[in-house]
Chains A and B, each alone.
Chain A
Amino acid sequence: MNKIWVFAEQVECSLDRVVLELLTKAKELAREMAGETEIAAVLLGCNVESLVESLGKYGADKVYLAESEELKLYNPSIYAPIITELVKEEDPDIFLFGATAIGSELCPTIAAQLKTGVAAHCIDMNINKDGKLVATVPSFGGKIVGEILCPDTRPQMASVKPGIFIQGEEEEREPLVEKVEVNINTENLPLKAISLNKKEIKGVPLDKAEIVFCGGFGLGNKENWEKLERLAGLFGGAVACTRPVVDEGWAPGEHLMIGTSGKSVRPKVYIGFGISGATHHVCGIKDSGLIISVNNDEKAAIFEISDIGIVEDLNKVLDQLLLKFS
């Protein structure tokens, strides 16, 4: 039997959205594989059994559940050896991780312990005619994409950023729960997780917004960023930005940044103001429905990848929009 595993990343007993996206993708891969395939989620934490239900609904036939007080806070020195041992016992064919902050550390760590390969930050995945995983990964800021295979070692590992795959429909499925014993001596570990500090996120979350107002370096100042926030409020949308806007401190933080080092979004409408169109940013918006760009440089590269372009000073366009809708 084939086995596809998904790391069920949770923080404070809430699953990262990427887990459900990965389970959905795992179901697709299972259909492409010859013979029977079991999809399993690997869940570590403290009092997290309640998450088993959603893991089942989105595709897990089985959930490996490791629970202990020591697993309450994520710690690579504790999480990685538990998962590595489990992989050695069960020998999965494919193992998928979210390329979140936690997943991006845990996945290569486990791969190094198993001496197997990882395709990092995949944007697509298929099973080829030999039954092997073919992952497509971006390089050079997304300008080039290439296929990565892991032909000889197992599992074939891959990480995927949130928002790349679409979460599927729920189905009734009651997964088999297999408890994993945790017997790690954490007493003298040289690495100790002390605390988790969550930031309050206000406004419509970027990944749920149907319309995204994205500001670039062309905004020029924080006042224009605030105008963008007002517009997003009026339209029931979300604000987002490019990297210089985070660096300048106009935007409240990196969680609003779109691109290779930030979020990938697919809203119905994306409107960009003062964005040049660097590949690093563009690869995070390419799946949006309608792309509209405002830039006063008619030669800006962003126009090529837009459906609609407005060659105009963004100050004027922002004010006109606010006038019209306030």
Chain B
Amino acid sequence: MALNIVVCIKPVPDPQYYDKVSIDPETKRIIREGIPTIINPVDKNGIEAALQLRKLYGGKVTVVTMAPPNAVENLREALAMGADEAILLSDREFGGADTLATSYTLAKGIEKLANFDIVFCGVESADGATAQVSSQLGEWLGIPHLWNVFEIEAEDERNLKVKTKVENGSMDWEIKLPCLLGVAREVNKPRFISAMGIIKAKKKPISIWGRDDLTLEDERIGLTGSPTKAGEIFEPDLKRKGEILKGSLEEVVDVLTSKVRAAGINITEGKGIGSEEVSEDE
């Protein structure tokens, strides 16, 4: 039996440039000019996981995004990686959505695709990084879901064995399809795009669906459908005095040591003390 696989990808400003993001003092809006928009890095792990499942059982991989119209470029890249079809959910009315409204809209888009067996998300987006859309989409779709997945093993095309990361360890799960998995970076290594992939991608279909193409409740989308509202934004000032130590290596390390001592760390030269002694000193 062939699988219908869906991957949710989000276009985000390239995280390598986040040091350059700032707030316009006048308009109070975030300035991100000149920062390229890329596929959210971990969402490529989602695409890779989908392609690997398709290889095992056959079927179709559809990438879905809710984004402004220029996200077509990011979808094209996903198609070049090997996805078969792309859906862009785009409408002014979708704007200003928080995670609940975003996941609702994504769910309505996915439900319109006749049927689906498995949905992949990334664990979190680089810009907003709420790490919530994955689990919330699972809820809207009414299917079992897991987040922080770093290993997927298919028992057969209806049953998966999955591992998730938890604090200081991991958990093992069995999950039946249809289901949703939010994957972590460790799950696989996304493939590179080949020249052939780029050529093939040009012919693959990208559908653009707006509000009127979906069956949805207006009060659940966009700003209206978002229970959270944004207040003020700030750029935290983390600057410290940044005193640069000058002198020979020995001198510099001596000053460093005395500063560490002055900050309340108890150390003895030439006879390092262990952690037990430190805790006794407290």
Output the nearest chain B residue to A322 by Cβ-Cβ distance: B272
Secondary structure at chain B's binding surface: helix, strand, loop or mixed?
Answer: mixed
Query: Which chain B residues lie closer than 8 Å to A324 at the CB level?
Result: 253, 257, 269-270
Task: Determine if B135 and A108 form an interchain contact, defined as CB atoms under 8 angstroms apart.
Answer: yes
Task: Determine if B173 and A116 form an interchain contact, defined as CB atoms under 8 angstroms apart.
Answer: no
Taking the closest CB of chain B, its distance from the CB of A32, in whole angstroms, is 16
Task: Determine if A148 and B148 form an interchain contact, defined as CB atoms under 8 angstroms apart.
Answer: no
A190-B175, A195-B172 as given contacts; A142 in contact with B236, CB under 8 Å: yes
Q: Is A139 an interface residue (CB 8 A)?
A: yes
Of the residues A139, A189, A321, contact of B127 by C-beta under 8 Å:
A139
Taking the closest CB of chain A, its distance from the CB of B45, in whole angstroms, is 13
1/0 contact string of A74-89 vs chain B (CB within 8 Å): 1011000000000000
Task: Determine if A104 and B148 form an interchain contact, defined as CB atoms under 8 angstroms apart.
Answer: yes
Taking the closest CB of chain B, its distance from the CB of A260, in whole angstroms, is 6
Of the residues A197, A279, A289, contact of B170 by C-beta under 8 Å:
A197
Task: Determine if A144 and B148 form an interchain contact, defined as CB atoms under 8 angstroms apart.
Answer: no
Task: Determine if B131 and A120 form an interchain contact, defined as CB atoms under 8 angstroms apart.
Answer: yes
Task: Determine if B228 and A117 form an interchain contact, defined as CB atoms under 8 angstroms apart.
Answer: yes
Task: Determine if B98 and A112 form an interchain contact, defined as CB atoms under 8 angstroms apart.
Answer: no
Task: Determine if A236 and B233 form an interchain contact, defined as CB atoms under 8 angstroms apart.
Answer: no
Output the nearest chain A residue to B130 by Cβ-Cβ distance: A120
A11-B167, A144-B21 as given contacts; A109 in contact with B272, CB under 8 Å: no
Task: Determine if A104 and B147 form an interchain contact, defined as CB atoms under 8 angstroms apart.
Answer: yes
A211-B265, A309-B245 as given contacts; A146 in contact with B233, CB under 8 Å: yes
A76-B135, A286-B238 as given contacts; A199 in contact with B249, CB under 8 Å: no
Q: Is A49 an interface residue (CB 8 A)?
A: no
Query: Which chain B residues lie closer than 8 Å to A236 at the CB level?
Result: 266, 273-275, 277-279
1/0 contact string of A147-162 vs chain B (CB within 8 Å): 1111111000000000
Within 8 A of B (CB), among A105-147: 105, 107-109, 111-113, 115-121, 134, 138-147
1/0 contact string of B94-105 vs chain A (CB within 8 Å): 000011100100
Taking the closest CB of chain B, its distance from the CB of A148, in whole angstroms, is 5
Which one of B1-9, B54-62, B64-72, B137-145 is at the interface?
Answer: B137-145
Q: Is B23 an interface residue (CB 8 A)?
A: yes
1/0 contact string of B241-270 vs chain A (CB within 8 Å): 111110001101100110110011111011
Query: Which chain A residues lie closer than 8 Å to B277 at the CB level?
Result: 236
Of the residues B166, B172, B234, B278, contact of A146 by C-beta under 8 Å:
B234
Which residues does B use to contact A, with CB under 8 Å?
Answer: 13, 15, 18-19, 21-23, 30, 98-100, 103, 124, 126-132, 135-136, 138-140, 143-148, 164-176, 179, 182, 226-236, 238-245, 249-250, 252-253, 256-257, 259-260, 263-267, 269-270, 272-275, 277-279
